[in-house]
Amino acid sequence: MEAEKIARELRFRTSRSSGKGGQNVNKVSSKVELIFDAQASAALSDEEKALITAKAASFITADGAIHIVCQDDRSQYMNKKKATEKLMKLLEKCLKPKRKRIKTAIPPEVNEKRIAEKKLKAEKKEGRRKVEE
Q: Residue 103 has what pLDDT? A: 92
Q: Is residue 46 part of a domain?
A: yes
Q: Is residue 118 part of a domain?
A: no
CATH number at residue 44: 3.30.160.20
Q: Which residue has the higher pLDDT, 73 or 77?
A: 77
Q: Is residue 61 part of a domain?
A: yes
Q: Could you tell me which of 70, 78, 66 has the C-alpha nearest to residue 32?
A: 70
Range of the structural domain that residue 9 is part of: 3-95
Q: Is pLDDT above 80 for 115? A: yes
Q: Is residue 104 part of a domain?
A: no
Q: Is residue 83 part of a domain?
A: yes
Q: Is residue 130 part of a domain?
A: no
Q: Is pLDDT above 90 for 3? A: no
CA distance 27 to 22: 10
Q: Could you tell me which of 76, 71, 117, 91 has the C-alpha nearest to residue 9?
A: 91
- In the chain, how many domains are there? 1
Q: Residue 7 has what pLDDT? A: 83
Q: Residue 116 has what pLDDT? A: 97
Q: Is pLDDT above 80 for 26? A: no
